[in-house]
Amino acid sequence: MKKILVVFMLSFLFIMYVGAIDETLLFSEDELVTVATKTPKKFKDVPASMTIITQAQIQAMGYTTLSQILQTVPGIYISTSERHLRRLAIRNVTSSYNDKALLLVDGIPYREVFYGHLFIDEYFPIEIIKQIEILRGPSSALYGTNAFAGVINIVTKNFSDIDKTENNVKDCEKTKTVTDSGTRIVNNLNIKVGTHDLSEFAVLSAAKFQDGSEVIIYGRKYETKGSGPQYSRKHQRNAIGADPAMAKTFMLKWNYHNLKISTFYFEFQHIFHTNWDLPAEVKIYDFFQYKDVGFDVFYDFNITEKLSVELKLSYQNYDDSSFYHLTTKFEEEPGVEDFIVTWDIWPIKKSQAGFAELHFNYDIFQNNTLSFGIEYTIEEIIDVRDLYIERATGSMVAPDADPAIGPYSYWVDPVTKHNKVFYVQDQQKLGKFDFIVGMRTDIHEVFGTTTSPRAAVVYNHGSRLILKAFYGSAFRAPSYRELFTKVSDPSWIKGNEDLDPESIETKEIEIVFMPNENTSLTLNIFESKITNLIGRGGILGVDEIYENSENEIDIKGIEFTHRVKRNKLQFDLNFSYCEAYDSETNELLPNLPTTQGNFKLIYSPSKNLNLSIMNVYVGSRVRWPDDTNTYYGKPVDPKYPMGEPRPDVEEYFRTDVNVLLDLNNRTRVNLHCFNVFDIKYYDPYYKKPYQFDIQGPGRMVHLSLVYYF
The residue-averaged pLDDT of 95-116 equals: 91
Other Cβ atoms less than 10 A from the Cβ of 237: the count is 15
User: For the chain, what's the residue count?
Assistant: 709
Which of 222-236, 430-444, 536-550 is least confident? Answer: 222-236
**Percent of the chain whose predicted confidence (pLDDT) is above 90:** 53
Please report the DSSP string for 442-464 in residue order: EEETTTEEEEEEEEEEEEEETTT
- Stretch (H or E) spanning 69: helix 66-70
Other Cβ atoms less than 10 A from the Cβ of 169: the count is 10
Q: For residue range 268-292, what is the model confidence (pLDDT) as tens digits?
A: 998 776 555 555 555 566 788 999 9
Strands 129-136 and 49-54: antiparallel
CA distances (Å), 329 to each of 11, 282, 385, 413, 646, in order? 55, 12, 27, 35, 32
**pTM for this one?**
0.91
Secondary structure class of 674 (helix, strand, coil): strand
Please give the pLDDT value at position 284. 62
Of 166 and 224, the one with more pLDDT: 224
Other Cβ atoms less than 10 A from the Cβ of 5: the count is 9
Q: Which option is the CATH number for 2-708: 3.30.700.30, 2.40.170.20, 2.102.10.10, 2.60.120.10?
A: 2.40.170.20
**Percent of the chain whose predicted confidence (pLDDT) is above 70:** 86
Q: Which residues contact 377 (CB under 8 A, 6 or more apart)?
A: 353, 354, 355, 356, 418, 419, 421
Name the CA dihedral angle for 14, 15, 21, 26, rounded to a multiple of 10 degrees: 120
Please give the pLDDT value at position 353. 96
Q: For residue range 589-622, what is the model confidence (pLDDT) as tens digits?
A: 888 999 999 999 999 888 888 999 999 999 999 8
Please report the DSSP string for 204-227 in residue order: EEEEE-TTS-EEEEEEEEEEE--S
Which residues sit opposite 543 in a β-bridge?
A: 539
Integer Cα distance of 48 and 39 in angstroms? 13
Q: For residue range 535-566, what is the model confidence (pLDDT) as tens digits?
A: 888 887 778 999 999 889 999 999 999 998 87
Of 663 and 243, the one with more pLDDT: 663
Asked whether the beta carbons of 247 and 121 are under 8 A apart, the reply is no
Integer Cα distance of 240 and 209 in angstroms? 52
Asked whether the beta carbons of 159 and 207 are under 8 A apart, the reply is yes
Q: For residue range 40-72, what is the model confidence (pLDDT) as tens digits?
A: 888 888 899 999 998 888 888 888 889 999 999
Integer Cα distance of 458 and 576 in angstroms? 22
Other Cβ atoms less than 10 A from the Cβ of 700: the count is 19
Integer Cα distance of 417 and 453 in angstroms? 24
Strands 76-80 and 86-90: antiparallel
Residue 190 pLDDT more than 70?
yes
